[in-house]
Amino acid sequence: MATALVFLLLCSLAGAAANDASTANITASFVFGDSLVDAGNNNFLQTLSKADIRPNGIDFTASGGEPTGRFTNGRTIADIVGEGLGTPNFAQPFLAPNTTGRVILNGVNYASGGGGILNGTGQIFVNRLGLDIQIDYFNITRKEVDKILGISQAKLYFMKNAIISLTIGSNDFLNNYLLPLVSAGERYTESPDSFVDQLINSLRAQLTRLYSLDARKFVVANVGPIGCIPYQRSINKLSQTECVSLPNELASNYNGRLRTLLTELNQNLSGAKFCLADVYDLVYEIINNYQTYGFKSASSACCGNEGQLAGLLPCTPASTMCENRSDYVFWDSYHPSEAANIIIGKFLVDGDTKYISPINLRQLKEL
């Protein structure tokens, strides 16, 4: 009996050591957000927000140019950041049937086109995963990792190996507060400051919940210059050098409050590190000096249908597509091209504090 017990103990210790060794050097990306980083979750939803048809994904090498549900011609910012940090595989969509077992140790993508910080955001698309639901799904993943690694090793894995990224907030303005007709009444009854308060209070609770689930390394992107996207320029009939002021003012208001929130969380949540990705200033810089970065257009969508700046309708097989995708900052009416995503991703991984602070993502990984 004693011999048998010793044997079982040794087997248990060997299994724990194997799990420890197998995860020690993994950097896992757990991606939350909207269509800027959706890797295909919306393929599995009955929703009007989809990118599962050509020519979306035309330059995504891993799929041979077939659409994957990414809202761009190639890799998203999250894909590029994951590669830069040495993640062995792209984080798979949570809703995909094959996102199970040890695959999840490489990270999971919960992002959903149309999703927002607020549960009511994106109702126009019928179905989408808001941030609260995405965190519910992360909790499911968290319990699965407990089963795979054991409770103590799983806790260490999330604290040391997991990078938690959030790219969300644009839809809370574009497809909620600023949505024509649908939200007109709300805009009269709720001030911009009050709406931003609601966003920040919700996000504080959501980030704190992730912390309670053992997340410790965070990168949170602010909202980009949404008044400069082709859709906004088209519906407002602006020139190629103009941006719509109200959306950008709202984004700037939110971004200032977000910076304060992350400073607060860095002070109050022991052992956590929250990095701010200043996507607003970075994308604005690329748009204003696009030729410096090798682009020929920062106003038109490469894939569009009609409108002065080809930015009114989604990218479909019937769309007119530019000849060279890497010449364009924007892939479609809302989303950057892979070429723009590559520039953004490199700044976030290895850049200085101008666009990613207080440390860059490579430094975050090494903590």
Q: Which residues contact 268 (CB under 8 A, 6 or more apart)?
A: none
Q: Which residues contact 19 (CB under 8 A, 6 or more apart)?
A: 148, 149, 150, 153
Q: Are 318 and 279 in contact (CB under 8 A)?
A: no
As separate numbers, helices (DSSP H) first and strands (DSSP E) second, the chain gives 12, 11
Give the active site residue among 34, 38, 59, 332: 332
Nearest C-alpha neighbor of 28 from the set 111, 79, 91, 102: 91
Give the active site residue among 29, 34, 35, 38: 35
Reply yes or no on whether 332 is catalytic.
yes
In angstroms, the CA 36 to CA 216 distance is 23
In angstroms, the CA 205 to CA 208 distance is 5
Question: How far is C-alpha 344 from the geometric centre of its chain's CA atoms?
Answer: 12
347-364 burial by CB neighbour count: b if 16+ within 10 A, else e? bbbebeeebbeebbbbeb
In angstroms, the CA 219 to CA 274 distance is 6
Phi, psi of 283, rounded to the nearest 5 degrees: -70, -35
Q: Give 176's DSSP letter.
A: I
Reply yes or no on whether 335 is catalytic.
yes
Within the chain, where are the H helices? 2-23, 77-84, 131-149, 151-160, 170-172, 184-189, 192-212, 230-235, 245-268, 279-288, 338-350, 361-366
In angstroms, the CA 42 to CA 304 distance is 21
Give the active site residue among 29, 59, 172, 335: 335
> Would you please indicate which residues are annotated as catalytic (active-site) residues?
35, 332, 335
